[in-house]
Amino acid sequence: MSGMWGNKIKLSIFGESHGKAIGIVIDGLKAGTEIDLEYIRKQMKRRAPGFSKLSTPRKEQDEFEILSGYFNGRATGTPLCAVIQNSNTHSKDYEKTASLLRPGHADFTGKIKYRGFNDYRGGGHFSGRLTAPIVFAGALCRKILEKKGIFIGSHIKSIGIIEDPKSFKFTSIEKGSLEKLSESKFPVLDENCGEKMQQYILKVKEEGDSLGGIVETGVINLPPGIGDPFFDSVESTISGLLFSIPAVKGVEFGEGFDISKMKGSEANDQYFISDNNAIKTYTNNNGGILGGITDGMPLIFRTCIKPTPSISKAQKTVDIEKRKDALLEIKGRHDPCIVPRAVPVIEAAAALSLFNLMED
């Protein structure tokens, strides 16, 4: 199983949703790197389950314990290992349906890949629970980026069929707006639209169903020149890590698929010299990336999250042990919409990717 990622720093995640704990080992942090534990806790709390009527009732504090690689507020230079305990598991919820393949989950593919030895409780190692260690590592890198003046923020662009009419201004995003979004439990640009989204989630939850959505992310103050073609481009690095997040089904940069509808004269981002003598572009249709390398404009990308596959409605499936058709009614605790809790995970992936691509 591939649980490792990275070049400049290397990450290795471990654990299962209903195991004793989950965690991460980070190798490659320079000795003396400052580690802000309160900042990391703040980011972890944004992802933690059980603190909103829009999320699963499974309540986990996501408190972490650093076992190695940390001393007196700084990295020691040796591998840093952090563990997060699983304290609120209801494993019995999965015993009665252990042989029933849950539609939309990795039950079938996991059983085939690991010959039936995988931990099926709560999705095991396939669970979104494993994004907590990613947020831990991402928060660590994000703080380092912020000290360089680089800031990351996101807003929920859509939930189901409801779409926020507002988007980031591609050519200029204020630091304050990104910070405000990061403080919000349901980050949107249009508050009225955000209320409609939340009511829609609660309505669908009562129906025993779920919703997906799109998150738009912006990164500002990136210097030009980050990224390497072809295989370490900014797009491929960020996308690769984003697609490692459970439920992510699509990623687009700048105008994304809509750029295909433009003419070259419309799609090209034409240049000018700014007041501070920097080279800028009038538009930012390419999302701040050309040739896989940052061009100094805001980095813009959107991430598509599918509806939570665990729903209360009866679904057709098969009993893999009896090799016969069956009907599944899922019991247990699940998010009616994973999008709000996915926001800090997406931002963590962006921070990790950019940190891994940047020069010292």
* Residue list, annotated binding site for NADP(+): 47, 53
Q: How far apart are CA 311 and CA 210, in angstroms?
A: 6
Tokens of 117: 């030895």
Q: Using CA of residue 248, residue 249, residue 251, residue 255, what is the dihedral sign?
A: negative
Within 254-295, strands assigned E span: 271-273, 279-281, 289-290, 293-294
| Residue 308 dihedral angles phi and psi, to the nearest 5° | -55, 125
Instruction: Pick out the residues of the known binding site for FMN.
Output: 125-127, 291, 306-310, 333
Contact status, residue 159 vs residue 343, Cβ threshold 8 Å: no
Half-sphere exposure of 102 (CA within 13 A, CB side): 25
Contact status, residue 225 vs residue 293, Cβ threshold 8 Å: yes
Rg (CA), the chain: 21
Residue with tokens 């249709």: 285
Contact status, residue 96 vs residue 326, Cβ threshold 8 Å: no
Q: How far apart are CA 341 and CA 46, in angstroms?
A: 7
Q: What angle do CA 341, 188, 140 make, to 5 degrees?
A: 45
Q: How far apart are CA 14 and CA 25, in angstroms?
A: 8
**Count of residues for the chain?**
360
Which amino acid appears at position 93 of this protein? Answer: D
Contact status, residue 154 vs residue 181, Cβ threshold 8 Å: yes
Q: How far apart are CA 21 and CA 35, in angstroms?
A: 22
Instruction: Pick out the residues of the known binding site.
Output: 47, 53, 125-127, 291, 306-310, 333
End-to-end CA distance of the chain: 31
Helix (H), strand (E) counts: the chain: 8, 18
Q: How far apart are CA 225 and CA 283, in angstroms?
A: 19
